[in-house]
Chain A
Amino acid sequence: MIYLEAIITLSAIGVGLTILLIIANKLFGNYGTCKVKVNDREPFEVEGGGKLLEALYDHNIFIPSACGGQGSCGFCKTCVIKGGGPLLPTEEPYLTEEEQKNGTRLACQVKIRNDIEIQVKPEYLSIRQFKATVGQCKMMTTDIREIHLKLAPGEKIEFRPGQYVQVMVPNKKETVFRAYSIASVPANDNEVELLVRLIPNGLGSTYLHSVKEGDEVTFTGPYGDFVLDESADSELVCVGGGVGMAPMRSLLRHVAATNPQKPCWLFFGARTTDQLLYEAEFKAMAEKLPNMKICYALSEPEKCPDWKGATGFIHESVARELAENASPSRQAFLCGPPKMLEAARKTLQQKGFKNENIFADEF
């Protein structure tokens, strides 16, 4: 008898709770259809209860998001005019006080529970999704792979040098996007070239290191705010290390092709000679162009006895080589690990760079 009673008790409580939860979910968890209005566009309808970012992606509005909607990158900032609900504790760390006041939210955290009106940068509306085929791939160092993604014939991607794309990483649970800078030049608009460093257990990098020629890869883009000053007399200074080479390679090759008189610098830092990227190519380029100067520096030269170039951290090379000049049109593009960028930013400021002219792309 006691066994029966035990089973009855347990089942009764389990079933009772389950029924209660099902009813509660039916009653309270259903938001009906909601309208989403983006800028001045015609509103579209979505099933309520979902995340704003996902709804936007489903309707081909690809605002940047590097972490795949986990609220850890802070890229998907969106101005919510109406119907966003209260600010969440998960968003607060990513928003300045001013942004919190003017209604900026993280689209990946906002749940659509009623009609909602948002404002996104107009340029985001031109971001598209591309299905590309993997072309040539090459290992550049032990862990950095150069990958060419060819668009379908006739398709074009318009971007500025220094921008990036987001590659869709197929994942069992949900679609995840990872951001990679474009290394190719805008003139070559039928493909994008990426440099990907393999991060152990990294979702995006393991995927992109495993794709083979002919595989299909989906990405969205282009993203990124950097606008190159195209005038021929303003100086461009690129400082970076590792896969930070990608956007700099796009910028410098673009300058070499379209604006060969423009003064520019490439500072590239690595630990050892194994980690140098495109050294020969840029040396050859600098020889042809009188105003392009390059500097590769090793921080652990004692391991490479044959090295004849600069040594030390890359910001030390910047301090040594770069002239002081307070010209307001001078631009700097930094891309590399955070510590390197921090040091480089300080050095550049000492050299007369205005903070707003230093663009940093951290990874």
Chain B
Amino acid sequence: MDIFTPGGPLLIFLAAMFTSNILLSKFLGMCSFIAISRNMKTAFGMGVAVTFVTFCTAMLNYAVYKGFLVKGSKFFGDADLTHLNFLIFILVIAGFVQLLEIIMERFTPALYFSLGIFLPLITVNCAILGVSLFMIDPTLNFNFVKTSVYALGSGMGYCLAICLMAGIRNKLKEADIPEPLQGLGSTVIVTGLMALAFMGFTGMVELG
């Protein structure tokens, strides 16, 4: 299989990271994006945490989806339980983050403390739920490999966007911004401009 075929893993990865960037094309996860992008170090920490959790929860949710929810699933094959998607995905994400927190605090305190304060924020990060919901879109028809690549790409896309934002905001500290636009105002405008730039890639690679 040619890796550049449309819908192949590499293209899905690139599309998830750039053209369909979860933050800049779907505007999910905006609250943490705006709140944590004040400096590069914490932005990167948040980005890594989101990438990791997105990837793992997408895998888990994929298993739960294929095992229980979808029609023709492994355990309840005759029933279509997809109307429980939201509830169950949120449960899995919250449970996973909590478990991760407990384990990390015990065994890797250094890592826990560099990511630790972001983990609770992630439980309610819509980008993560978003990835789990988009990956089961029947028109995309992702298999396990594609799902994992898509989740990884989306997480890294979030990381990229929040780091870019932190860099820009760092530059903007020196800028003479009119008072009403300081803080949130300029951040949202910059987000819009970044989204436009990312839109430029859209024609090049597509998810499906």
Which residues of chain A have a CB within 8 Å of any CB of chain B? 1-2, 5-6, 9-10, 13-14, 17-18, 20-21, 24-25, 28-29, 85-90, 113
Contacts and interface: CB of A to CB of B under 8 A. Distances in A.
Interface stretch (B99-107, B129-137, B180-188): B99-107
B68 A17 contact: no
Contact of B81 (A2, A18, A21, A85): A2
A278 to B, nearest CB: 38
B92 interface: yes
A29 B106 contact: yes
B113 A86 contact: yes
Contact of B79 (A5, A17, A24): A5
Contacts, number: 66
Nearest to B87: A10
B81 A9 contact: yes
Contacts of A85: 109, 113
Interface of A is mostly: helix
B95 interface: yes
Closest 4 CB pairs of A and B: A17-B95, A28-B106, A2-B79, A5-B76
A9 B69 contact: yes
Contacts of B76: 5, 9
Nearest to B98: A21
A20 B95 contact: yes
9 contacts: A2-B79, A5-B76, A6-B79, A6-B84, A13-B68, A13-B92, A17-B91, A29-B106, A90-B117
Contacts of B68: 9, 13
Nearest to B95: A17
B99 A24 contact: yes
Interface in B69-112: 69, 76, 78-81, 83-84, 87-88, 91-92, 95, 98-99, 102-103, 105-107, 109-110
Contacts of B106: 28-29
Interface size class of B (residues with CB under 8 A): 20 to 34
B64 interface: yes
A13 B114 CA distance: 30
Contacts of A20: 95, 99
A82 B78 CA distance: 60
A186 B92 CA distance: 60
A21 B84 contact: no
A362 B141 CA distance: 61
A18 B102 CA distance: 13
B45 interface: yes
B202 interface: no
A88 B105 CA distance: 12
B91 A5 contact: no
Contact of A21 (B78, B79, B99, B113): B99
B38 to A, nearest CB: 11
Given A9-B68, A10-B84, A24-B102, A17 B113 contact: no
A93 to B, nearest CB: 10
B25 interface: no
